[in-house]
Amino acid sequence: EVQLVESGGGLVQPGGSLRLSCEASGFTFSDYYMDWVRQAPGKGLEWVGRIRKQRDAYTTLYGTSVEGRFSISRDDSKNSLYLHMKSLTTEDTAVYYCARASFRLGTYYFDYWGRGTLVSVSS
């Protein structure tokens, strides 16, 4: 059974940093692109970023609002995905989901999601 479990969320002050983790199981983690998606309270979904697999040089791509402040990494030996966040503002308060990106018929889509971890940025 595919499982994605996020951790590392919590309360952080504006300007602070936080690292989220996502532990994967039930599939060959190294074969997949992995993404982060967030959702501010009562708002819609926002794509945060993607990390490709080793064959694609672990390339990372980011959403406009987080570029330069957030970075994504992965450790395939630990089946783990990470989101490193810095210079946090109240606008970053959200539930953060990790998601597996599957590739079929020439397109990627998120076929598995974690339950999410809440990040609250407040003084």
Tell me which residues touch other proteins (CB under 8 A).
35, 37, 44-47, 50, 61-64, 97, 104-111, 113-116
Output the smallest distance, CB 77 to other proteins, in A.
26
Output the smallest distance, CB 58 to other proteins, in A.
16
Give the nearer residue to other proteins in terms of CB position, either 29 or 36.
Answer: 36
Beta strands 45-51 and 33-39 are: antiparallel
Output the smallest distance, CB 25 to other proteins, in A.
16
Q: How far is Cα 28 from Cα 12, in angstroms, rounded to an integer? A: 33
CA angle 90-4-15, nearest 5°?
A: 20
Give the nearer residue to other proteins in terms of CB position, either 44 or 68.
Answer: 44
CB 52 within 8 A of CB 31: no
Give the nearer residue to other proteins in terms of CB position, either 35 or 92.
Answer: 35
| Residue owning tokens 């993607």 | 50
